[in-house]
Chains A and B, each alone.
Chain A
């Protein structure tokens, strides 16, 4: 398989080392171009932070990778296959909580219900399933409240349960859509540490969509910054720099570093924000 990408900065590798390859992908939704000419090569086992303002097309791009959103131009290869044909490799944690608020089911049964959920037949209880559920809950750090009813858990605990659902079938790629949204800084750090640990233990590729780069500093291998339908993939220092972001946004942007945190400043309006959106 030929996977030569014009924008690839890394040396030419075997296709077997790629988990995801995007070549000049454009996506149109409702007559509007959401993603314009995006290329990226992501290796197996990488932790990629996907950053950018709301409406930059982060979730749309993820949907295209999952095969849930048709794209007009370009090639997407997911573990060497077109989107939609290797979906059992995926663990996905949605942004919105899709589990019903009123459910009285325990976290453990909610995770068990997902185990090999794409198979046919009756989900008989088995020791293999119990072991898989235990392992997933342990990875997500949700063991201590696994037998409580989901409806009485806190927001952070619910996210852990959804994370356990995402990792139970040992996915090769974990796609996390804004898992840090609406968490306090302490819980944000715990969740990021937990996901870094999952990466270490399972060697899964991780696509972590986030609003703010700072909680992911030191944890992510590379960053994909998206703005205005365009994307730039590279090392954090290369991508989140004044020059790079100014090109991406098309307006002068200053990136400053203070006490280990990144701040992005719109040079025209002088509004400083932690490295996130405008």
Chain B
């Protein structure tokens, strides 16, 4: 127990916990809607497309965060235009995903930069988050959560009963674009913590498990937030204790929880 408090005296651990908490909170809320709307693959693809943005940003002298944000917002709104047909356009998403990853490799080879940076983009480097980045993450997450709050009722309606929502005059395409933009921001922030390859865990993991455990919207959202925070906190502390990467711990804990719900919950 004493060693736990020793970790907390380090700035980089406190920064990591703070950033991790923000991202877990946002990811848990957005992730719940990802599951409701059944767009898990699109979320996964957005994160990988972000990799191209990060490597491209290095080439054009931007920060990786702004590069990822830019490209995933563009990709997100394009996906949003296909509206509620998104679940069925796996081929289109897959094609865009592969071409952007191809482009990412090109940027990487042109840049000839420091290879360590690539690995932190892919697998995350939560202990390397600078205080200035912390401020960016906080601001982006606060804006996203604000936007979700404003449109959550409509988004819930449009996600759960799209035909009725359209009949009542809600534009499904507009809400799909809005949602994908919010998802793009969340995915970008989550990749700062666990890296672009593992974003799926943090966005979809807690919400997916929460969805299996609960029967109503509010218990589901709260359960998802709880699982997200617990996972990120224990992942970071376990990483301190073992010197293994936090991304490994976070994804393993979520997989373990998923396994438990699969075994113990009868459908």
Contact = CB atoms under 8 A, between A and B. Distances in A.
Contacts, number: 107
Nearest to B148: A122
Interface stretch (B47-55, B68-76, B98-106, B149-157): B149-157
A198 to B, nearest CB: 16
A245 interface: no
A31 B267 CA distance: 48
Interface stretch (B6-14, B158-166, B226-234): B158-166
Interface in B128-175: 149-154, 156-158, 160-170
B38 A98 contact: no
A87 B164 contact: no
A120 B154 contact: yes
Interface residues of B, number: 31
Given A100-B38, A106-B215, A121 B150 contact: yes
Contacts of A119: 153-154
Contact of B168 (A90, A100, A105): A90
Contacts of B161: 98-99, 110, 113-114, 117, 162, 165
A114 B153 contact: no
B244 interface: no
Q: Interface size bucket, A side? A: 35 or more
Contacts of A94: 163-164, 167
Interface in A44-98: 66-68, 84, 87-88, 90-94, 96, 98
Nearest to B219: A109
A22 interface: no
21 contacts: A67-B169, A68-B166, A88-B169, A91-B164, A92-B167, A100-B36, A104-B211, A104-B214, A105-B215, A114-B160, A118-B157, A119-B153, A120-B153, A121-B150, A121-B153, A122-B149, A122-B152, A123-B152, A151-B267, A165-B164, A175-B167
